[in-house]
Structure 1
Amino acid sequence: MRVFIGLDLPGPLREALVMQQFLLPLQRRVPAEDLHITLVFCEKLRDDAAGALHDALSSLHLPGFDLTLAGLGLFGGNRPHSAWAGVAQSDGLVALQAAVEAAGRRAGLDLPHRRFVPHVTLGRFARPDPATLMRLERGIAAGAGFAAGPWRVDEMVLWHSELTEGGPRYSELARYPFTEARRPPPGSGTLP
């Protein structure tokens, strides 16, 4: 089973991203309800590792943090294949991704070693013709100042990804809320 752990997006951010999709000549737009930030992707989750993954993710006790989207870009170099919205630098997001990846490895997932590039995929395309590529590059350049948020990230989601002729289809398997660090206010503790 193909699965990924990621962050869901609030409605207003989805609306802002749909507007950016509209402004770009994308062959296949990611449906608004499928827009997300992937933390870890697992091509083949073995049945015997599913329970261990759930337990590992449930045992993470991480604080929430604020996140902001910033900028647009293309993946694929000279032969771009997808357009994305970027994520502003966030120590909380980097720590979360590292913790989720470590939890996945402890659960027995065979995860590739890749540099984490946080983003929201807006759309995919086959090799664009030169005119479309020029329009696409202009649209990305025009959206360089795109920003949306911030929003509070307070949970992560485990999704199943099924490949279909129309593109991947996602279904939610579980949600894992974060636990905010609870510290008593200064002066409220008991003395030893």
Structure 2
Amino acid sequence: MPRLFTGIEIPADIGLQLSSYRGGLPGARWIDPENYHITLRFIGDIDERTAGDVFSILGDSRRRDPVTITIDSLDTFGGGRPRAVFARANGNGVLADLQSEQERLVRRIGLPPEKRKFTPHVTLARLRDASPIDVADYFATRGRFPKLTFTARRFVLYSARESVGGGPYVVEAAYPLG
């Protein structure tokens, strides 16, 4: 049973720059740069037939222009119980439009709606038992975050092995943007 999700790949040069933020945070499990991505729609563990339906329906995407994406800051999910460090991504509303379209497409084949609010980001580390003070110290020592901009010319359908997250991820299909 495959675990699938759609996303935007992070170019190697941007991944290298993001990887410079690895380290210095107790309780962090750092994601390997080759597994950096921006998740658009988590699909989850599905059967082979539904996976085939997902593969086909994503081809109906009408978004056909490349997307300029800027990664502009570091942040964390979890508030008082931090669970991830991430780099925030901004696509000037285009990423949200692309995600909304994919949400509509996968719901058309019977998948349940995504419950989480879409926040475009690149996960850098998953946190286990990290204290909020350690996380605040980590951010305080990182200084100003430079804007990193790239153009995405496709979105992809990824598969993942069953794990606690972080890869390895495999590109199962690619859909052009432009």
Q: With the length of structure 1 as denominator, give the TM-score of the two structures.
A: 0.82
Measure, in 1, the Cα distance between the counterparts of 2:165 and 2:62. 37
Instruction: Please tell me whether the aligned partners of residues 7 and 39 of structure 1 are also in contact (alpha carbons under 8 angstroms).
Output: yes
Measure, in 2, the Cα distance between the counterparts of 1:60 and 1:166. 27
State the structure with more CA Rg: 1
Please state how far the C-alpha of 1:17 moved relative to its aligned partner.
Answer: 0.7
Paired AA for residue 145 in structure 2: F
State the match for 1:176 in structure 2.
Answer: 175
1:75-154 equivalent positions in 2, closer than 5 A: 75-88=77-90, 90-128=92-130, 130=131, 133-143=132-142, 145-154=144-153
Measure, in 2, the Cα distance between the counterparts of 1:150 and 1:166. 25
Measure, in 2, the Cα distance between the counterparts of 1:18 and 1:83. 12
Instruction: Please tell me whether the aligned partners of residues 157 and 172 of structure 1 are also in contact (alpha carbons under 8 angstroms).
Output: yes
- Unpaired runs of 5+ residues, structure 2, are none
Instruction: Please tell me whether the aligned partners of residues 70 and 145 of structure 1 are also in contact (alpha carbons under 8 angstroms).
Output: no
Matched residue pairs, number?
176
Q: CA RMSD in A?
A: 2.1
- Unpaired runs of 5+ residues, structure 1, are 180-192
Between the aligned residues of both structures, percent identity stands at 29
Q: With the length of structure 2 as denominator, give the TM-score of the two structures.
A: 0.88
Instruction: Please tell me whether the aligned partners of residues 59 and 175 of structure 2 are also in contact (alpha carbons under 8 angstroms).
Output: yes
State the match for 2:5 in structure 1.
Answer: 4
